[in-house]
């Protein structure tokens, strides 16, 4: 039996009107502006940009407001908007060595050239609620120390110079793009880094944590974590050369991990890498740990069956929009599907009851 159903428009309209009212909250409280979200909920904005895979702080702020602070819903809004835009091209690869640094730390070298720059970090705070923030009107100011821009070479490049790091593949090959071609396995490292950069922070964090707890142990040191702004350059055909089209904030993490080597090659440290849009160091560290775990094959390591070693599992489940789309669709009408289940279970029960009745008689 197939029954087409219509209706619900009036209920849907009323639901959306109520949603709008609830979004606004108590009208006696001043309305939140997108500017306020962008300036004061910056890390939420950064997360929505990273997972929405679109760098635009105003739009991310708007998405957060529209989604009532549901960040995955906000990511969804940003992704949907992105699909309406034409793409003008791809940038030159950003040069993170030229980053204007706001934070830069190394867990491996205390006296790294350029120094340890803490930046605006939550580290070393006591994680006690600060009730002063409930009172309005404070405008704190940061200390300043006149200085030249931080000249900070990548710390791993220092180990590289001594031949202690595994060499990086040098190529300018055009990378695969999962927004243009559906992801396919095996996924190479550039494709994996794209998927992880837009992956759900919670998922990538848990995968990274699992490697630390022994599920595919890779023993990572944070060689360097840096946050700052980088210029974005793009080749413009009508000009015939590349120009800077803007600047974006990035977080980059490079990990140093245990060794690779062979009878012919002396041992070298191996690398994990994470690059994320915005200020998002938990995510960048997580990406670099998962990146390293996924490299077991190319580094000749054993597959111990750890989830974080399973490229297909990690990449096909890290996208929270794909995940929530499939998960949440099951709450939508499945009346007909369920009708067939009902008929099936009744038939099975009838079949089971008949011999029982016969036995009883």
Partner 1 sequence: MSISDQDQRKDYMGVLARARPDRLAALLPDLPDHTWLRAPEIGTTMVRGRVGASGAPFNLGEMTVTRCTLQLADGAVGHAYVQGRDKGHATRAALIDALIQSGQQPEVTTPLLTTLRTEETERRRIRDAKAAATKVEFFTMVRGED
Residues 185-204 that bind partner 1 (CB under 8 A): 189-191, 193-194, 197-198
Q: Smallest distance from the beta carbon of 78 to partner 1, in angstroms?
A: 10
Q: Give dist(CA 281, CA 284) in Å, integer.
A: 5
- Choosing from 23, 69, 73, 175, the residue that interacts with partner 1 (CB under 8 A) is 175
User: Of 37 and 197, which CB lies nearer to partner 1 in the complex structure?
Assistant: 197
Do residues 241 and 142 lie in contact, with contact meaning Cβ atoms separated by under 8 Å?
no
- Choosing from 7, 27, 89, 300, the residue that interacts with partner 1 (CB under 8 A) is 89
User: Of 16 and 100, which CB lies nearer to partner 1 in the complex structure?
Assistant: 100
Q: Determine the size of the site formed for partner 1 (CB under 8 A).
A: 86
Cβ-count burial 237-252 (b if 16+ within 10 Å, e if not)? eeeeeeeeeeebbbbb
- Choosing from 26, 130, 136, 172, the residue that interacts with partner 1 (CB under 8 A) is 172
Q: Give dist(CA 221, CA 224) in Å, integer.
A: 9
**HEC secondary structure over 222-263:** EEEEEEEEEEEEEEECCCCEEEEEEEEEEEEEEEEEEEECCC
* From 177-185, 259-267, 327-335, 353-361, span contacting partner 1 (CB under 8 A): 177-185
Q: Smallest distance from the beta carbon of 19 to partner 1, in angstroms?
A: 26
64 binds partner 1 per the rule CB under 8 A: no
Q: Give dist(CA 53, CA 102) in Å, integer.
A: 22
Do residues 294 and 311 lie in contact, with contact meaning Cβ atoms separated by under 8 Å?
yes
Q: Residue 60 is inside which H or E element, if any?
A: helix 57-66
Scanning residues 227 to 246, which ones bind partner 1 (CB under 8 A)? 231-232, 234, 236, 238-239, 241-246
254 binds partner 1 per the rule CB under 8 A: yes
User: Of 142 and 359, which CB lies nearer to partner 1 in the complex structure?
Assistant: 142
Q: Is 276 helix (H, G, I), strand (E, B) or coil?
A: strand
Scanning residues 131 to 160, which ones bind partner 1 (CB under 8 A)? 142-150, 154, 156-157
Q: Smallest distance from the beta carbon of 42 to partner 1, in angstroms?
A: 14
Q: Smallest distance from the beta carbon of 209 to partner 1, in angstroms?
A: 23
Report angle CA 115, 119, 120 to the nearest 5 degrees. Answer: 165
Bin 124: left if φ > 0, else alpha if -120 < ψ < 50, else beta. left
User: Of 223 and 331, which CB lies nearer to partner 1 in the complex structure?
Assistant: 223
Q: Smallest distance from the beta carbon of 8 to partner 1, in angstroms?
A: 35
Q: Smallest distance from the beta carbon of 312 to partner 1, in angstroms?
A: 19
Scanning residues 267 to 286, which ones bind partner 1 (CB under 8 A)? 271, 273, 275, 277
Question: Hey, which residues does 275 pair with through a beta bridge?
Answer: 252
86 binds partner 1 per the rule CB under 8 A: yes
Scanning residues 308 to 337, which ones bind partner 1 (CB under 8 A)? none
Scanning residues 4 to 63, which ones bind partner 1 (CB under 8 A)? 49-50, 53-56, 58-59
Contacts (Cβ under 8 Å, ≥6 apart) of 223: 106, 107, 108, 155, 156, 159, 254, 255, 256
Q: Smallest distance from the beta carbon of 68 to partner 1, in angstroms?
A: 23
User: Of 68 and 161, which CB lies nearer to partner 1 in the complex structure?
Assistant: 161
Do residues 248 and 230 lie in contact, with contact meaning Cβ atoms separated by under 8 Å?
yes
Scanning residues 90 to 129, which ones bind partner 1 (CB under 8 A)? 90-94, 96-97, 100-103, 110-111, 115-121
Do residues 106 and 155 lie in contact, with contact meaning Cβ atoms separated by under 8 Å?
yes
Omega before residue 294 within 30° of 0, cis: no
Q: Smallest distance from the beta carbon of 61 to partner 1, in angstroms?
A: 13
């Amino acid at each position: 039996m197939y029954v087409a159903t219509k209706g619900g428009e009036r209920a849907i309209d009323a639901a959306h009107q109520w949603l709008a009212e609830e979004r606004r909250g108590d009208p006696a409280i001043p309305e939140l502006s997108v500017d306020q979200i962008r300036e004061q909920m910056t890390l939420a904005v950064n997360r929505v940009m990273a997972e929405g895979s679109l760098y635009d702080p105003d739009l991310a702020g708007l998405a957060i407001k529209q989604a009532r602070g549901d960040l995955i819903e906000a990511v969804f809004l940003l992704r949907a908007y992105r699909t309406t835009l034409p793409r003008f091209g791809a940038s030159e690869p950003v040069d993170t060595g030229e980053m204007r640094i706001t934070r830069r730390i190394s867990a491996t070298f205390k006296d790294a050239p350029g120094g340890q720059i803490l930046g605006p970090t939550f580290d070393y705070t006591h994680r006690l609620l600060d009730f002063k923030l409930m009172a309005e009107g404070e405008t704190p100011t940061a200390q300043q120390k006149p200085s030249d821009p931080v000249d900070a070479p990548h710390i791993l490049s220092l180990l590289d110079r001594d031949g202690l790091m595994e060499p990086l593949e040098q190529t300018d090959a055009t990378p695969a793009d999962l927004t243009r071609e559906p992801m396919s396995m095996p996924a190479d490292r550039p494709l994996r880094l794209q998927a992880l950069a837009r992956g759900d922070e919670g998922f990538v964090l848990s995968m990274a944590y699992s490697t630390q707890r022994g599920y595919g142990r890779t023993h990572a040191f944070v060689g360097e974590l840096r946050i700052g702004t980088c210029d974005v350059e793009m080749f413009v055909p009508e000009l015939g050369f590349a120009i800077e089209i803007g600047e974006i904030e990035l977080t980059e993490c490079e990990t140093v991990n245990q060794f690779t080597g062979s009878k012919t090659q002396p041992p070298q440290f191996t690398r994990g890498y994470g690059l994320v849009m915005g200020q998002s160091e938990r995510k960048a560290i997580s990406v670099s740990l998962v990146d390293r775990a996924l490299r077991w094959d190319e580094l000749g390591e054993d597959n111990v069956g750890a989830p974080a070693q399973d490229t297909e599992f990690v990449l096909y489940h890290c996208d929270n929009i794909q995940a929530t789309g499939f998960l949440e669709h099951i709450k939508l009408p499945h009346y007909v599907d369920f009708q067939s289940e009902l008929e099936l279970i009744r038939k099975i029960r009838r079949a089971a009851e008949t011999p029982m009745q016969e036995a009883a008689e």
